[in-house]
Amino acid sequence: MTTPPIRTIAELELALSEPRGATARALAACPGDLLILGAGGKMGPTLARMAARAVAHAGGPRPRRVIAVSRFSSSEAERSLNEVGVETIRCDLLDRTAVSRLPDAPNIVFMAGQKFGTTDAPERTWQMNVVVPEICTERFAGARFVAFSTGNVYPLTPATSLGSRETDATGPIGEYAASCLGRERVFEGAASRGARVAIVRLNYAIDLRYGVLADLATRIQNGAPISLAMGHVNVIWQGDANRAALELLTHAASPARIVNVTGLERLSVRWLATELGARLGRAPVFDGTEAADALLSNASLMKSLVGAPEVTITTMLDWTAEWTRIGGARLAKPTHFDVRDGKF
């Protein structure tokens, strides 16, 4: 059965924030308010919406607050969250005094961080990716955390493999990846002091406005060459990544539990571009050849804990092509998935 296309921002926001029964059950099993730190990025608003919808579905003896914390440069972003029952607080997470004033909450989703701009301002990246987690874990000592990290903490693995497992050695390439491993170490330290922590190593979330597929579709539409330097990737629908993160609250532990969150398939960039090109009626232009290794993660543990992603790669390709065809909005935030030297 063909999945209906997504053609409007409203439809997209609903699709990205649709909880499942397991999401509502997971939040019901973690009583108390939910605080989402760094909620103003690409994923934060839809995760906050999903949490509010799941809380409403689960019900309970008293109202539970879902509170999104960010600098919120956009008043419109705040307003749209408020309309669906998410409280918002403007806060600079580098400001210890401001963080100390945030409301108490036993459940925390930590999403703050910086990737792009690392090459030009590495000190800012280390502040956001290491200092901010330290400030926040000190403020919410003993809380239950789901902390977002990245598959970039792994080294490149053979392109014929299923990717790195959580028990494999890390090998960050570049300052961004190194700072993300530093963030993980901060959360592991918090877990050793009484917090319960699940660390989400994510790559790559797909939203029709950004992501690997949006990058490929834009290049195909513009006739721009597609680099095959990073010839294989994992992707996951952002809604599935949001659900996995919220459901992993019930798996937060001490010592910290690390979980790769991504699609179960190893996908060829050449194949993805060819499939998108067929849907768009334009042949992709390729640059170079596939390397023998790539940044890949094995998501078997995620599947065992919270189940497999529900949105298939075929559906993501169909949705991305249609969104591109109708001129759907883009966030102008390329993933740079083809970067091999860790410089962002």
Residue pair 108/35 in contact by the 8 Å Cβ criterion: yes
Collapsing DSSP to helix, strand or coil, 9 comes out as helix
Contacts of 91 (CB under 8 A, 6+ apart): 69, 70, 71, 98, 99, 102
Residue 105 in domain? yes
Whether 233 has a pLDDT exceeding 50, the answer reads yes
Residue 79 in domain? yes
The number of distinct structural domains making up the chain is 1
d(CA 68, CA 189): 24
**Radius of gyration (Cα) for the chain, nearest Å?**
19
Residue 274 in domain? no
- Pairing label, strands 144-150, 236-237: unpaired
Whether 116 has a pLDDT exceeding 90, the answer reads no
Amino acid 178 reads A
Domain with residue 150: its CATH number is: 3.40.50.720
> pTM for the whole thing?
0.95
Phi, psi at residue 205, to the nearest 5°? Answer: -80, 140
Residue 221 in domain? no
Residue 249 in domain? yes
Q: Confidence band (pLDDT; 50, 70, 90) for 77?
A: confident
Q: Confidence band (pLDDT; 50, 70, 90) for 295?
A: very high
Least confident of 58-72, 149-163, 181-195: 58-72
d(CA 40, CA 66): 14
d(CA 243, CA 306): 9
d(CA 295, CA 338): 9
Least confident of 10-19, 56-65, 98-107, 186-195: 56-65
Mean pLDDT of the chain: 95
Q: Confidence band (pLDDT; 50, 70, 90) for 58?
A: low
d(CA 190, CA 135): 11
Find the domain containing 147 and state its range. 9-207+237-264+295-310
The predicted-structure confidence for 24-50, as pLDDT tens digits, reads as follows 999 999 999 999 999 999 999 999 999
Residue 327 in domain? no
What is the per-residue pLDDT for 281? Answer: 97
What is the per-residue pLDDT for 59? Answer: 64
What is the per-residue pLDDT for 76? Answer: 86
Region 237-265: what's the mean pLDDT?
A: 98
Whether 147 has a pLDDT exceeding 90, the answer reads yes
Residue 181 in domain? yes
What is the per-residue pLDDT for 75? Answer: 82
Q: Confidence band (pLDDT; 50, 70, 90) for 1?
A: very low
Region 154-182: what's the mean pLDDT?
A: 96
Residue 34 in domain? yes
